[in-house]
Structure 1
Amino acid sequence: MNVETPLPSNTADAKAARRAAKAARKRERADARALARRQKRLASTGAAASGERATGADATQPSASAAQKPVSLRERMAEVWMRRIHPVIDVISPIGWAVLGVALACWTLGLIFKITELNVIALALTLPLVIAALFVLGRTSYKVTLDLQTHRVVVGTRAVGRVEVTNPTQRVILPSRIELAVGAATAQFMVPRLAAEQSHEELFAVPTRRRAVLVVGPVRSVRDDPLSLMRRQVTWAKSQELYVHPRTVRLDEAASGYLRDLEGTPSSDLSSSDIAFHALRDYTPGDDRRHVHWRTTARTGKLMVRQFEETRRSHVVVALDNLADHYASEDEFELAVSAAASISAQTMREEKELTPFSFDALQRTNTFRVMMDDYTVLEQLQERYSLHELGQQAADLAPNASAVMMVVGSHTTARELNSAANQLPLGVLAVAIRCVDKAEVRRSAIGGLDVVTLGDLDALPKALRAVGR
């Protein structure tokens, strides 16, 4: 998406806007003066009582405007400060202020006490300030376009973008430096001398080592002197957000077998009415006559009825434990986020019902991109919660779930896992994926809860394949 940036405050459009605002203020003052003259005329002619009441009503307006005069004055002073004074003061760097302060002190003492050495020092300090001012004087008009190839990438892949700088004027613009903020870092590149209508393009790549939401931009043009005494910068392009999604792995059919169903995930409960035919049995009083299998009845000589299996569509719950106390390191938590995102992504690909959540957030499942955005902004919590609350949330959010996948850290104890599993409804397939950095895949059981230890994201298909057996 291309971002055409607004011109800064020293452009022709901004000047026109200021002129229009100034004209509007003049009209307001003229209207106020006309109202005051009208009130004076009414007071001098001795208007009728109704007129006096009207005058009294109108008289409240000048008093109100008079009360507002100090506020308007302060606003105008603040506007003058922000538009005129602050930009000039902001040009001088901290080093420049130090040099300016020493120069002023030397000039003052040297002239008062007629000390030649101090005057020489003051002159030596003043000359660099004058030269620095020449570097930052002048106005520059750019048209800058910040274009990101994509606003969503996966950890480990580069995000590529470009910055195009165009000279929209009919005069030559001298070389300058452009700064592009990317997260906490700043990239710099030089813009050469640009003739009228000439453009310069720079390509950049954003490394994505960790899951994050990076702010790319704004784009600023910078002019400063070699000694960094003064620095003038103008912002041209607004910032854009870059989502770095967690890395995920695709689960094969063997690994996701516990999710797979055609007409639904069959349960072991038998029913006399459903869509999945199971077997035939003898007729008992109260059975629905519509389910009588007449061919078998005619062959055996006794009433036989169809028996069905209860079916339900798979509903997978992915519960991510995001308590900081349960993880040994940041990398371990990132492994847990990637594992939860991988299971959720596989469930969404197979078009199963999905409920992903953490202690403090419920991830949206409208689209794959929205879900990954929610996983991107997920953070560790410093609060202390009991893990059984995670199981209770799973039971409350999806009471008819067929599988609950709890992704936890290495500091989670067996007692906490058992407590969380006890909150789940009966008949639910409960699996805990315990993320331990660089550990071997192994499987254990705590009561009816399958516990799988995961040390690397690439081993997740193998870990879930063991659960499916």
Structure 2
Amino acid sequence: MSPRSWVAGARRTLTDLSRRRLALAGALRDDLARRTRRVRTAFRPVAETVTPAGWTVGVLAVVLLVAGPVLHWRELIGGGVFLGLVLLLAVLFVIGRQPLAARLDLARERVIVGERANGYLTLTNPSGRRSRPLVVEFPVGAGRAAFELPALAPGALHEELFAIPTAHRAVLDVGPVTAVRADPLGLLRRERHLSEMDTLYVHPKTLRVDGSAAGLVRDLEGRTVPKVSDNDVSFHALRGYVPGDDRRHIHWKSSAKTGTLMVRQFEETRRSHLLTMVSSRLEDYASDDEFELAISVAGSLGTQALADGQQLSAASSHASLPAGGAQRFLDGLSGLTYDWQARRLVDVTRSLGNDELAASVIVLCVGSGVTITELRRARQYLPVDTRVIAVRCVIGQEPSVRWLGDLGVATIGRLEELGVAVRRVAA
């Protein structure tokens, strides 16, 4: 083995171990959250009001009040009493109601990665008394936007414009708008929801793949497959009449020549039906960029198929994806994440449903972690008369196409190379 091959193999092994460690950590985190859900729900009111600084002050006050008498140290008792009074004063800042109403509006609920999602926040004071200045926040995914709200007179209105950057594909929960009351030291924090939550879909980048429908599925009423049927549109041969055959398919001229009844046989045809399957297994990708590229490939081929009037099915390693329309399909891809317990590609293809196996073309979107051997094994569990194409997404790799029997394997390093790969596969 050459030194270069040894280094590449060692690097690949280290990457696999790192991805497996991340997958294990994610599975353990989800399991811990599930086991502690009841406890966290019971203590949520207190946990949401007391900040980490508040917990620190409270614990320290208890420690000082206990340690003072034990050590006969009056200063410790005085310190504990002082910290307790500070907490009591903090309570005065958070009690009361916020007489406000809010409305959150997004200019667009669906954007593409890289676009800005604009919106505006409207706050009103419907009460008969003047409101106090406070901070108004609303979560945006894992982040949080905050605005300083001035005091509002009765019936007054205040508007804030905002823009949400969308650097990553995601389904973001925007809102609810929250009025925040807190003490100056940040020991306690009380929130009150003022509006409903909205959802922002950040769709993956897609491109138009010209000629994909004509290249991958070359038929108008369906693609002929090597299955004999007694009732279809593609004529295949004649055979002897069997009781129960449809008399409309009797070929009378041939029957007159042979002296026995002959009926037509047909080759089964299928409608143009595309299935895009995206692996959501962490170990199948060397980086998150590969995963995003695989999703963009599936989105591009799926939306093109729908635009061409084809039937579309979509799936990931752990679930089926909505494919009733381009918008619902991209919404499903926007929320697709790694599944810590996802099965290998071979096991996924083995368990596909009947509707998914009825596709005339199946495209497997995977990363560099899926080997050629795995692709070959996965192909064995798919129907023989189905056209199967695997698109391996390897960032920085030169585009290439190779055939492994009836399995086409296209490798791309950028989304812009998808059109060339599709044309080569369809050639």
Give me the TM-score of the superposition, normalised by structure 1.
Answer: 0.65
Aligned-residue offset at 1:92: 11
1:382 paired residue number: 340
- Check the 8 A contact 1:156/1:208 in 2, yes or no: yes
1:345 paired residue number: 303
Deviation readout 1:80-105 (Å, 9 max, x if unpaired): x999xx79985996179459939x96
2:39 paired residue number: none
* 3-state SS of 1:465 partner: helix
Distance 1:253 1:192, change over 3 A: same
Q: Counterpart amino acid of 1:413?
A: T
2:61 paired residue number: 101
Q: Which moved more, 1:203-212 or 1:387-396?
A: 387-396
Aligned residues: 366
Q: Which moved more, 1:387-396 or 1:152-161?
A: 387-396
In structure 2, the gaps of 5 or more residues are: 1-42, 242-248, 255-263
Deviation readout 1:33-59 (Å, 9 max, x if unpaired): xxxxxxxxxxxxxxxxxxxxxxxxxxx
1:315 paired residue number: 273
Which whole-Å CA distance do the structure 2 matches of 1:244 and 1:206 have between them?
11
Deviation readout 1:241-265 (Å, 9 max, x if unpaired): 3232222222112675223532333
Q: Which moved more, 1:221-230 or 1:367-376?
A: 221-230
2:409 to 451, 458, 465: 451
* Matches for 1:136-155 after TM superposition, within 5 Å: 136=94, 139-155=97-113
- Check the 8 A contact 2:53/2:187 in 1, yes or no: yes
Which whole-Å CA distance do the structure 1 matches of 2:331 and 2:182 have between them?
40
2:12 paired residue number: none
Deviation readout 1:290-328 (Å, 9 max, x if unpaired): 689xxxxxxxxxxxxx99986432222222222222111
- Check the 8 A contact 1:444/1:450 in 2, yes or no: yes
* 3-state SS of 1:228 partner: coil
Which whole-Å CA distance do the structure 1 matches of 2:308 and 2:376 have between them?
29
* 3-state SS of 2:298 partner: helix
Aligned-residue offset at 1:165: 0.9
Which whole-Å CA distance do the structure 2 matches of 1:211 and 1:388 have between them?
27
Identity across aligned pairs (percent)?
Answer: 37
- Check the 8 A contact 2:57/2:83 in 1, yes or no: no
- Check the 8 A contact 2:275/2:362 in 1, yes or no: yes
* Matches for 1:25-36 after TM superposition, within 5 Å: none
1:420 paired residue number: 378
Distance 1:92 1:130, change over 3 A: farther
Aligned-residue offset at 1:365: 2.3
- Check the 8 A contact 1:418/1:447 in 2, yes or no: no
2:219 to 254, 261, 272: 261
- Check the 8 A contact 1:93/1:231 in 2, yes or no: no
* Matches for 1:128-143 after TM superposition, within 5 Å: 136=94, 139-143=97-101
Aligned-residue offset at 1:206: 1.9
1:360 paired residue number: 318
* Matches for 1:38-49 after TM superposition, within 5 Å: none
* 3-state SS of 1:354 partner: strand
Distance 1:356 1:229, change over 3 A: closer
1:216 equivalent to 2:174? Answer yes
Which whole-Å CA distance do the structure 1 matches of 2:364 and 2:48 have between them?
58
Q: Counterpart amino acid of 1:328?
A: A
- Check the 8 A contact 1:96/1:129 in 2, yes or no: no
Which whole-Å CA distance do the structure 1 matches of 2:231 and 2:49 have between them?
83
2:125 paired residue number: 167
Aligned-residue offset at 1:151: 3.0
* Matches for 1:429-444 after TM superposition, within 5 Å: 429-444=387-402
2:16 paired residue number: none
* 3-state SS of 1:466 partner: helix
Give me the TM-score of the superposition, normalised by structure 2.
Answer: 0.70
1:243 to 201, 204, 211: 201
Which whole-Å CA distance do the structure 2 matches of 1:87 and 1:326 have between them?
39
Aligned-residue offset at 1:130: 8.5
* 3-state SS of 1:251 partner: coil
2:136 paired residue number: 178
In structure 1, the gaps of 5 or more residues are: 1-80, 293-305
- Check the 8 A contact 1:273/1:308 in 2, yes or no: yes
Q: Counterpart amino acid of 1:337?
A: I
